[in-house]
Structure 1
Amino acid sequence: MTIHQLEFAPEQLTRRARWAALGVLMLPVLLVSIDNTALSFAVPSLSRSLAPSGNQILWIIDIYPLVLAALLVTMGSLGDRFGRRRILLTGGIGFAAVSALAAFAPSAGWLIVARALLGIFGAMLMPATISLIRNIFTDATERRTAIAIWMSGFSAGAALGPIVGGWLLQHFWWGSIFLIAVPVLIPLLVLAPRLVPESRDPEPGPIDPAGIALVTGALGALVYAIKELATHGPTGTTMLIAAFGLACGIAFVRRMLVRRNPMLDVRLFANPIFSVALMVNLVSIFALVGFIYFLAQHLQLIAGHSPLEAALMMVPGLVVTVVLGLAAVPFVRRFGALPVMVVGVLLNAIGYLVVSALGHTGSGLALLVGFVVVCAGVGMAETVSNDLALSAVPPAKAGAASAVSETAYEVGAVLGTAVLGSLLNLAYRQGISVPVTVGESAAEQARATMGGAVEVAADLPTASADALLASAGHAFDSGVTLTAAIASVLCFAVALGAARILRGRV
């Protein structure tokens, strides 16, 4: 089989070759999901070593998906033109190199910069994997199964990340979690050229620098504005940035509508199946990432578990995501795509409802039960929504369409920490009561984050330390209750909207 055949006739691949290629494409998926959840568990260790502010903690977590979201459409379009496998390998090399540098960041500022660079190379990885899958698996049933496995790879990585990350954090410094990328990406760089067929759009349009600038400016500015609105409210600067992003977005859409070969066919959004699938994708990841953000901190900083113990307590929920993601395939054959997807989003809402009702008690069991329910919903909703989004476009445009789907995923990840995390931090700051014996600078540190309160308490007399930790824990859990209620209402609304819009269409 020649390279030309591999590029333009994926149906000529044998069944074994298709699944072997999928196995290789799972490596970057595992890497990104391991990196995300392992980093969440490193927040307490980061707080002790780098002393970041509450806003810096959010930036350390958010800057990667923010940059990634801004560049996904661009990288997906470049993959369509220059080859998706080539973009994948370039991203793999860069991601491994920058991960090694991030491991030794000397300050919170440096780590934020390193995470931004990881976002650039991560933007090359994810659209390439799903668009290659879309072109390799031309049979609808095989493709749905492959996408279910692809989504399960995210969940498996999310389950493996806390275990590996927890063990590393228990035995080494926080930077060791970034070194996970190196041994995962080396097999990708060796095996992908041998097992993954190259694919690209056979009739790509010309490179559009203005379009690239507009879509990057739109996504970057709007995601940044959303994050700042959630953190600081509607300041003049934030509204200006939002207006700039909106103007870029409008200009991009108008440019794509008049170009003969646009880098992104914006008419796809007129398809309600495609648009609703993207919204479900975004909200599901919003629910999962937001939950992990506060659950990891509660288990370690309030319940007092080690990183490894906290990770192991979360594994059942993340395993449920894998199981229900794979089970979604036979569920769709039996009940249809829409009921399975809607039930998935409803489970997200119910999981958060459990936390909203019981989270104020500080019960770790209630949080873990809610987490399992949310994970079950994410597994079902993500598998179906990704399949619906990709099946709505022709294979030649898979790169751009998968990039849009990945953009929804990453925007959901940003909002999960930016919105829920910022609301949680706000409620925490308003609810905590610092003993009057604590100095002003230490009191400010304690009010900034739960991790800061734990650090301050370590240097206080027993009575003052106990009072501070009790107040901080109550404020944190009260904030969790509030954010869970908001997330639950949002998930219920999306589930009902999806059912109404797509009834009779799917």
Structure 2
Amino acid sequence: MSSANTSAEPRAGRREWLGLGLLVLPSFLLFMMLTILFLAIPHIAADLNPSSTEMLWILDIYGFTMAGFLVTMGTLADRIGRRRLLMIGAAVFGIVSVAAAFTGDPSLMIFWRAVLGIAAATQMPSTLGLIFTMFQDAKQRGVAIGVWAAGISAGVALGPLLSGVLLEAFSWRATFLVAVPVMAIVVIGAPLLLPEHRDANAGKLDLVSVALLLATLLPFIYGVKTLAKDDSLGVALGTIVAGVAFGTWFVIRQLRSSSPLLDVRLFANRTVSGALGVFVLAAAGMGGVYLMFTQYLQLVADLSPLRAGFAILPAAVLLVGVSMFSPILARRVRPGNVIAGGLAIQVIGYLMLTQVDSTAGLPLLIAGFIVLYPAVNPAMALTTDLVVGSVPPEKAGAASGLSTTANDLGISLGIALIGSIGVATYRGQVDGTLPANLPAEVAAAAKDSLDGAVSAASGLSADLSTAVLEPARAAFTSGLNLGAVVAAVIAAAAAILAAVRLRHVPPTGKAAADAKAAEQTEAADAKADTTGDTTADAGQPVAETDAV
């Protein structure tokens, strides 16, 4: 009994649970920043006048720099302290948010969003790492990770809704300033509620690997974005090839390193590689369509930011419900099948969006989004546990970092890929459909993006404005239709991958029951061995007495 008590892991108390609440705050906010600008696009376009390509960079450079530095910052957190790095990142994020809020230049906005991504990357590994430190009991830790993951899902889901409320009451600049009080709470509360943790055996930070990882991501994404330009095919293909080449170099370096920045050997585990592959694909399809969905609400259906935010609310509420139900269902049904089923439902939702038109398509658009948006959650809710639970305990931190990276990298890839497809479709279709008597600057703005068309049309007569907006909205809707087709293909591929690569993973309830039965068998065997030894020891004096 005393041995059992000694070996039991300590259970978390009130301070740890309050600390979890503090850790969920930045997790919620940092992922909300991936989507909070979706409804602010027309307002930013009117104030900053960015090109369509610059607007895509403003939207997704945050996610790419966050993904590119997550692994690096996880290593740095182990060296200097997770709580300390969390506080540094929160302070930087708050300060830079103020700078971004008052920026008047699109290029500078891209820069500030990139810095915000780096500041976000300093916080995310610390939040999950501190959860592992604070919650030693396996059951409590599972609950804590579930709450943390739910906070991330809620942040992605509710970003546009909060944006709509802020835009109705203030301006797009408030979507940045909302981060300031949250980060102030983190900086003040962290010393009071969170322990410090360092790894005495943390490896050195490999700056060459950091550079190679960035050199992999950014050229590749630049190439994807450049594909939307008719005259830049050579540049696009060249940068994509360069990104792949740097990525190959990065992998080789990690395999040869005794202390790799990213343990790529984890991908040899088929559960890890399968779950991460599914996660990236599911997030990519969702990220790109989510962006175009919110643009349609404002720029085609002409909804106010607040009404657009409330149009998203039903799907967001269902998403939260599915996030609670998915782990329960996975206790009885194989997680791979739960994920595949959700993605198959997503395909139906995407196909509904392919039938939306630019004049009376709003009801079908919202219905399709209500179908597809909650259906992505099984992939989001179950993959983190699959990844972390399939590796040895000493690699749990690295595995969880990979899961977080897959999430925001997938969303950003989707914005880049499907967003670029939408831009290319728009430009190809709108060209030649605009009135010939338009002023040159109006025609140029309308040909570049729907944002530009809406802004330019506001200064025209009613008839001429209609002549600009109708073909522009029809061209954008065609881009949405094609983007939904691409997303449907991605979701179908992810569903097949989940069904095939994760079919060996049993239901979590069965796995827990098997583990408990194994523990009971081991305990019974140990008890039997102890009883046998005691009997033998007790019998020896009797034998000696008889002999006497």
- Residue range with higher mean Cα deviation, 68-77 or 439-448: 68-77
Show CA shifts across 1:422-478 (max 9, x none).
111111122222111212221110111112111222222222211222111211112
Contact 2:11 2:135 in 1 (8 A): no
Q: Residue 91 and residue 362 in structure 1: after superposition, are their counterparts in 2 closer, same or farther (change >3 A)? A: farther
Q: Which residue, 218, 221, 224 being the options, matches 1:220?
A: 218
Q: If each structure's helix is expressed as a fraction of its own residues, which one has the higher value?
A: 1
Q: 1:149 to 1:14 in 2, by over 3 A?
A: closer
Who is 1:164 aligned against?
Answer: 162
The residue number in structure 1 matching 2:3 is none
Mapping of 1:413-428 within 5 angstroms? 413-428=411-426
Q: 2:263 aligns with which of 224, 243, 265?
A: 265
TM-score, normalised relative to structure 1: 0.92
The residue number in structure 2 matching 1:342 is 340
Please say if residues 350 and 485 of structure 2, whose CA atoms lie closer than 8 Å, have aligned partners that are also in contact. Answer: yes
Quote the offset at 1:134 in angstroms. 4.1
- Alpha-carbon distance in 1 for matches of 2:231, 2:403: 28
Q: What is the CA-CA distance between 1:142 and the residue it aligns to? A: 4.0
Deviation for aligned residue 1:84: 2.5
Partner Cα separation in structure 1 for residue 100 and residue 8 of structure 2: 38
SS at match of 2:330: helix
- Cross-structure match for 2:484: 484
Residue 309 of structure 1 corresponds to 307
- Residue equivalent to 2:395: 397
Q: Which of the numbers 429, 432, 442 marks the counterpart of 1:431? A: 429
Query: Which stretch shifts more, 310-319 or 31-40?
Result: 31-40
Question: Aligned-pair distance for 1:314?
Answer: 0.5
Rounded to whole Å, the distance in 2 between the matches of 1:54 and 1:10 is 57
1:263–1:400 Cα contact (<8 Å) kept: no
CA-to-aligned-CA distance 1:286-330 (integer Å, 9 cap, x gap): 233222211111111111111011001101111222211121121
Report if the CA contact (8 A) 2:228-2:424 is conserved: no
| C-alpha contact (below 8 Å) 1:201/1:397 kept by paired residues | no
Partner Cα separation in structure 1 for residue 215 and residue 376 of structure 2: 30
Q: Is the 8 A contact 2:64 2:412 kept in 1?
A: yes
**Per-residue deviation at 1:129?**
2.1
Mapped contact 2:275–2:502 kept (Cα < 8 A): no
CA distance in structure 1 between the aligned counterparts of 2:320 and 2:367, rounded to whole angstroms: 17
The reply on whether 1:31 has 2:29 as its aligned counterpart is yes
Contact 1:144/1:329 (CA < 8 Å) preserved in 2? no
Aligned twin of 2:171: 173
Aligned ranges for residues 87-98 of structure 1 at < 5 Å? 87-98=85-96
Q: 1:324 aligns with which of 300, 305, 322?
A: 322
1:358 shift after superposition? 3.7
Q: For residue 361 of structure 1, report the CA deviation from its aligned partner.
A: 6.2
The equivalent of 1:279 in structure 2 is 277
Deviations 1:64-92 (A, max 9, x none): 11222221221122223333222222211
Aligned ranges 1:108-257 → 2 under 5 Å = 108-139=106-137, 141-229=139-227, 235-257=233-255
Q: What letter is aligned with 2:435? A: P
Change in 2 beyond 3 A, CA 1:400/1:104:
same
Cα distance, 1:307–1:360 mapped onto 2, change above 3 Å: closer
Q: Once the 2 structures are TM-superposed, how far is the Cα of residue 411 of structure 1 from its aligned partner?
A: 1.9
Q: Which residue number corresponds to residue 521 of structure 2? A: none
Where does 1:358-397 land on structure 2 (aligned, <5 Å)? 358-359=356-357, 362-397=360-395
Change (3 A) 1:487 1:80: same
Q: Deviations over 1:192-240 (max 9, x none)?
A: 2222233444532233232323223223333333333456687333333
Report the CA distance shift for 1:77/1:234 in structure 2 as closer, same or farther (over 3 A): farther
Q: How do 1:452-467 residues align onto structure 2 when only pairs under 5 Å count?
A: 452-467=452-467
The more displaced of 183-192 and 252-261 is 252-261
In the TM superposition, residue 351 of structure 1 has moved relative to its aligned partner by 1.5
Q: Please say if residues 356 and 485 of structure 1, whose CA atoms lie closer than 8 Å, have aligned partners that are also in contact.
A: yes
Question: How far is the alpha carbon of 1:388 from its aligned partner?
Answer: 1.1
Task: Indicate the residue corresponding to 2:75 in structure 1.
Answer: 77
Q: Assess, with a 3 A threshold, how the Cα gap between structure 1 residues 312 and 231 changes in structure 2: closer, same or farther.
A: farther
Change (3 A) 1:236 1:28: same
Partners of 1:159 and 1:405 lie apart in 2 by 18
**Worse overlay, 345-354 or 98-107:** 345-354
Gaps of 5+ in 2: 1-6, 507-548
SS in 1 for 2:34: helix
Does the residue aligned with 1:305 lie in a helix, a strand or coil?
coil
Q: Tell me the equivalent position of 1:4.
A: none
Percent identity for Structure 1 against Structure 2:
39
Supply the distance in 2 between the matched residues of 1:367 and 1:149 (Cα, whole angstroms). Answer: 31
Q: Give the secondary structure class of the aligned counterpart of 1:204.
A: coil
> Is the 8 Å Cα contact of residues 286 and 487 (structure 2) preserved in structure 1?
no
Counterpart position of 1:106: 104
Amino acid at match of 2:323: G
Change (3 A) 1:422 1:242: closer
- Residue 385 of structure 1: CA displacement? 0.9
Deviates more, 1:257-266 or 1:175-184: 257-266
Counterpart CA distance in 1 for 2:208 and 2:466 is 58
> Amino acid of the residue matched to residue 23 of structure 2?
L
State the 1:161 CA deviation: 2.9
1:130 and 1:354, CA in 2 relative to 1: closer, same or farther beyond 3 A?
farther
1:21 to 7, 15, 19: 19
CA RMSD between the two structures? 2.3
Letter matched to residue 19 of structure 1? W
One-letter amino acid of the counterpart of residue 283, structure 2: I
Distance 1:394 1:64 in 2: 32
Pairwise CA distance, 1:99:
0.3
Residue 11 of structure 1: how far off its partner (Å): 4.3
Q: Which moved more, 1:370-379 or 1:481-490?
A: 370-379
Distance 1:419 1:11, change over 3 A: same
Larger gyration radius, structure 1 or structure 2: 2
* 8 Å contact kept, 2:334–2:505: no
Aligned to 1:468: 468
Contact 1:434 1:443 in 2 (8 A): yes
Question: Within 5 A, what are the aligned runs for 1:279-298?
Answer: 279-298=277-296
CA distance in 2, matches of 1:443, 1:100: 35
- Secondary structure at 2:219's aligned position in 1? helix
3-state secondary structure, aligned to 1:187: helix
Question: Following TM superposition, by how much is the alpha carbon of 1:131 offset from its aligned partner in structure 2, in angstroms?
Answer: 3.2
Larger RCO, structure (CA 8 Å, separation 6 or more): 1
* CA distance 1:348–1:128, shift in 2 (3 Å): farther
User: Which stretches in structure 1 are left out of the alignment for 5+ residues?
Assistant: 1-8
